[in-house]
Chain A
Amino acid sequence: MTDYAFEMKGIAKKYPLFQLSNIDLKLKNGNIMGFIGPNGAGKSTTIRMLMGLIQQDCGEINVLGCNMPNQQVAAKWNIGYASEDMRLYANQTINWHMQFIGSIYSNWDNKYAKKLLKQFDLIAGQKIKGLSHGQRVKAGLLMILARRPQLLILDEPTTGLDPVARHEIINELMDVLLDEERSILFSSHNTQDVEQLSDQITFIDKGQIIQSQDKESYLQSWRRIRLEISADTILPDLKGIVEQRKSGHQAIITTKLFNNELAETYRKCGATVQSVETMTLEEIFVSEVLASRKNSQHNNGATL
């Protein structure tokens, strides 16, 4: 068995109007990866390739030791997959679905399912079409959690939920996952959801992975520095600077390679450091995406 829950190497997939390229991604066993990207960035396509539902044009995908898509049947025994565009049967009850899943998976834990039912505040006899969106998401999660899969793949499970329902689902997921040894891939275009749950962050934009890193060190390396400068101050072009904005006597520097010497460097140039601020994941995400788009435009321009 490998150390990784999944590994994607050199993946590309071309569509008429969109393409994924150079996807290299791996998740260590037991880790939770937040997979963030704007709408249409390629999150769902990447995830479907992980599930074997879409075949990559090139590259290798290995999930739980199985080669995808050829060995998807073996892999899917141990994957719990839920996605935003997945629906349960509207005319059937939650109970019917529990029995259906139970009849397929030998590791279905009925006791645990009933516990989750209570915890999620669901009624077994209720038909799916009578549930709210939040309840449907919970019912869907119940179907996969109650068989304790090794790998959970959740594709935008919180999309379309109101803030309260989203909060509830994140909290409940955290509760449920607290005492489990399980790898999770969790995609969202909402950084807040991911920030709470994950210990690894991956950003995707326009079909390319732009960052994939451990969350804590990642957050640690990003800072926004506010400087007071005089008219003749020349700020050095340092490595890791993502953005540098000046207006009058103010300058705002965004860096992704922060260290304690950085402030000292600016002081030496004649600037006064007003503040060094930590950034939220959302702010970092937006900066990353903008920088990456600028970069690719620049590269495209150079090749023309």
Chain B
Amino acid sequence: MNASIIKQLILKDWYFNRLPLLLFTIIAVLSLGLFSINAKSTFYIGLVLIISLVVTVGALLIFSSVVNERKNQTLAFIMSLPLSFLDYTKAKIISNLSVFLVFWSILVTGILLIIYYSSHLPNGLIPISVIIMGELLVSYVLVLAVALIKESETWTIVVMGITNVGISLFMFLVAGLSDIGPYIEGPIALWNSTAISIVIVELILAISLIGIIFYLQSRKKDYL
């Protein structure tokens, strides 16, 4: 383990993304504001903005810190430093996930608090919100995995397109589940076995994807 260099690489990625992240955090807080207003259009727009922001921040992170590193040939510079390719992978995963998770957690917490405390939004919305936000997390990890493993901009764009389209398909499917859809308007957050299973599957998927990244990266012989 090469902790000090990994730390420096993570700090570098954070530093490079600091301004857009600040901007997106501000927009995120505004979107949560819209979401909390008791009006149909602001509710929709707030929610759409939140989903779009999660996707946009994910894309920004993956492109600026993974895809562009190779495309702009700064990867050779980084790999000339005393670190192994697995150290590099670790740094990329930690820097990406940490930023994404912070941003994602702010939004998840915001949404849950607003639903919980507002009188016009029933608590029945809580499970489906968690499930949808969980899907966004899994999609992000999947795109990160493809970007790191395939090392190709085209592949990353294609998979990102698929996962984005997948968000809407996923929402169709989940809302259509008889164990989820009908309880949205209920006064309590109903965590039945279907809802819990979906969240658990999402967690398992996210974690196993990270495992797959390490496994496939460790089998690579050529890094440049």
Which A residues lie at the B interface, using CB under 8 A?
Answer: 48, 51, 53-55, 72-74, 76-77, 79-83, 85-92, 100, 103-104, 140, 144
**Complex Cα gap A92–B84 (Å):** 24
Query: Are B77 and A54 in touch, CB under 8 angstroms?
Result: no
Query: Are B8 and A100 in touch, CB under 8 angstroms?
Result: yes
Query: Are B2 and A73 in touch, CB under 8 angstroms?
Result: yes
Report how many residues on chain B are interfacial, defined by Cβ distance under 8 Å: 22
Closest 6 A/B residue pairs (Cβ): A86-B76, A55-B221, A76-B82, A81-B80, A87-B73, A54-B222
Taking A72-B84, A87-B74 as known contacts, 8 extra A-B pairs with beta carbons closer than 8 A to each other, sorted by chain A number, are A53-B224, A55-B221, A73-B83, A77-B82, A87-B72, A90-B72, A104-B4, A104-B8
**Complex Cα gap A144–B80 (Å):** 10
Asked if B12 is at the interface (CB within 8 A of a chain A CB), the reply is yes
**Complex Cα gap A73–B6 (Å):** 12
The listed residue (B5, B73, B76, B222) touching A104 by CB distance below 8 A is B5
Query: Are B223 and A85 in touch, CB under 8 angstroms?
Result: no
The listed residue (B80, B83, B224) touching A54 by CB distance below 8 A is B224
**Min distance, Cβ A187 to any Cβ of chain B, angstroms:** 14
Beta-carbon contacts under 8 Å, B196-224 to A: 221-224
Query: Are A55 and B222 in touch, CB under 8 angstroms?
Result: yes
Which B residues lie at the A interface, using CB under 8 A?
Answer: 2, 4-5, 8, 12, 16, 72-74, 76-77, 79-84, 87, 221-224
Query: Are B223 and A53 in touch, CB under 8 angstroms?
Result: yes
Given A55-B222, A73-B82, verify A86-B8 contact (CB < 8 Å).
no
**Min distance, Cβ A142 to any Cβ of chain B, angstroms:** 13
**Complex Cα gap A169–B109 (Å):** 56
**Complex Cα gap A55–B79 (Å):** 14
**Complex Cα gap A79–B77 (Å):** 13
**Complex Cα gap A32–B200 (Å):** 59
Interface SS of A by simple majority: mixed
* Minimum CB distance partner of B81 in chain A: A104
Query: Are A85 and B81 in touch, CB under 8 angstroms?
Result: no
**Min distance, Cβ B91 to any Cβ of chain A, angstroms:** 12
**Min distance, Cβ B172 to any Cβ of chain A, angstroms:** 41
Which of the listed residues A87, A88, A92, A144 has the most CB atoms from chain B within 10 Å of its own CB?
A87
**Complex Cα gap A92–B8 (Å):** 15
* Minimum CB distance partner of B77 in chain A: A86
**Min distance, Cβ A14 to any Cβ of chain B, angstroms:** 12
**Min distance, Cβ B67 to any Cβ of chain A, angstroms:** 15
**Min distance, Cβ B68 to any Cβ of chain A, angstroms:** 10
B5 surroundings in chain A (CB, below 8 A): 104
Query: Are A103 and B81 in touch, CB under 8 angstroms?
Result: no
A100 surroundings in chain B (CB, below 8 A): 8, 12
Query: Are A103 and B82 in touch, CB under 8 angstroms?
Result: no
Query: Are B221 and A86 in touch, CB under 8 angstroms?
Result: no
Query: Are A53 and B83 in touch, CB under 8 angstroms?
Result: no
A77 surroundings in chain B (CB, below 8 A): 82
B16 surroundings in chain A (CB, below 8 A): 89, 91-92
B77 surroundings in chain A (CB, below 8 A): 86-89, 140
**Complex Cα gap A245–B53 (Å):** 74
* Minimum CB distance partner of B87 in chain A: A73
A–B pairs, 14, beta carbons within 8 Å = A48-B224, A51-B79, A54-B223, A54-B224, A55-B222, A73-B2, A73-B82, A73-B87, A76-B80, A76-B82, A86-B80, A89-B77, A92-B16, A140-B77
**Complex Cα gap A73–B81 (Å):** 8
**Complex Cα gap A104–B87 (Å):** 14
* Minimum CB distance partner of B5 in chain A: A104
**Min distance, Cβ B6 to any Cβ of chain A, angstroms:** 11
B79 surroundings in chain A (CB, below 8 A): 51, 53
